[in-house]
Structure 1
Amino acid sequence: MTTHKPIRKAVFPVAGLGTRFLPATKAIPKELLPIVDRPLIQYAVDEAREAGIEQMIFVTGRGKTAIVEHFDMAYELEATMAERGKDMGALDATRATPGDIITVRQQVPMGLGHAIWCARAIVGDEPFAIFLPDELMVPHKGGGSGCMKQMVEAYEEVGGNLISVLEVPRDEVSSYGVIDPGEQVSAGLTEVRGLVEKPPVAEAPSNKIVSGRYILQPEVMRVLEDQGKGAGGEIQLTDAMARMIGTQPFHAVTFDGRRFDCGSKTGFVEATLALALEREDMGADVRAIMERLLG
């Protein structure tokens, strides 16, 4: 059986300005906006930890120090809660041990591909994961594993590069990166023959969109080194990955779960309602509130 280098590191590009959520994001990073009572970045980090990832690399920008502080020890808060005998469970998941969290600065906003390239020295010669925190990926109601854990399991089978995909209505494909699917390897695992960033509907090779989770080999950093600008005048990660197809194994994992586009206001509200309805401590009350408002 072929063994592959383990996925120990993950890159989180969190330098974006969050302009779609102004004025809420004027002083607060969009990644710290809460879905119920956990910030978006916490969901992504928890998903990474579930998949066995040990080191989180945050690619930050100006005004994003609060993201790192979220995972730091809050001595005054913790001491006060302990003194008052309050449950500390809500804070447990936010604590990081030394070396778990590393930050690197993206000084100029030049696109997702450039943000990933900024982490090249920390990634080194290891395969690594990428999380886009705006894409909230959660298991189906009732249980199941997270998206990255499903991807790591597929990676252990085929190696190479993997991306998560979801099927969307055909008329929505021009808002996403889309795969040109090849051979079906197994249930939920498909060979990728090509990638197109935000194609016109008539030219899209499928309705399977790239959904914010990646496992890539370190060679992508050398491809990004001389990657020209693509859609939107930015350095696109999709373009760099497309250049790697044919030189290394490349597969798509269809996530068995749910995706919420929390980069949009409506997606953010949908995620908040969906997850609140599933909570034992508030689900019934939230449902009653919704029925009253709709009635």
Structure 2
Amino acid sequence: MVECKLCKNAISMTNPVCELCDFNFESESIGDEYKCKMFHTKLKKEYPWYKEVEFLSRLQKLTRLSNARMSRLLGIKSRSILSRDLPLAQGVATHPELKNIPSKSKAFKRLRNLSSKQIYMKEEELQKKIYTAWDQTFFADEWFLFEKNDLLGQYDTGEVGTMDLLAHNHKRNKWLVVELKQDSSSDDTVGQILRYMGWVKKNLAKQNHIVEGVIVCGSYDIQMEYALSCLPSVGAYIYRLRNNEIEFWPYKDGFGKAMQALENLDPKIRKKVLKNMY
């Protein structure tokens, strides 16, 4: 006997299809959708709430179904339910104490409270953390920090302010100005990083060098996205603090859509995706 990857019940080693949820572990697909739907209904009625959200998370990972397709498969009327339950499943994995909460709605509120405490850092703390962990970020694959004196990665221009981080490309004649914002960003931030980039272009870069910029901030702002759409040399990421480590999410389309697309990816795969996005 072996354990079904989807419903976690024991199944015969000779039969690749689970009798309870009809998951085929050879093709990683659902054959009888009605049987899968009935198993999900039973989970909701007879088992603790976290068993259902864990099942939903496994179903998406194993079958790679979209939220819309999963909603139709399981008879879930609103796709917004999955948008809540799938992050909740990830939250349970990170905070197993959530299983002790009696209801799903209360657990989700508790998870939001836990997450809000881990979202933002003071700018000086954020700068120091990225500086000390630079080699562990995806930036380090392409860039090394260009340091002047003992400023922990900061670079004082003496004219237009102090850059949070300044980096140079490992192989090419390219510079990267990194501007950090604790929480919200705006199109004013774009003007600020352009001033820094202009200073680097005039004072550090040679004639054939390229100067790029990246903004790292805590939340999304539509005005800044419009400004960035006309500046191919400036990118942006939203940061999140998870298990005391910083993760970077693509700014385009906002944090929510980026999370839906990348949250459940293997960390190694996610790192490659992020690298290719910049």
Normalised to the residue count of structure 1, the TM-score between the two structures is: 0.21
Q: Which structure features the higher share of helix residues?
A: 2
Bigger Cα Rg: 2
Normalised to the residue count of structure 2, the TM-score between the two structures is: 0.22
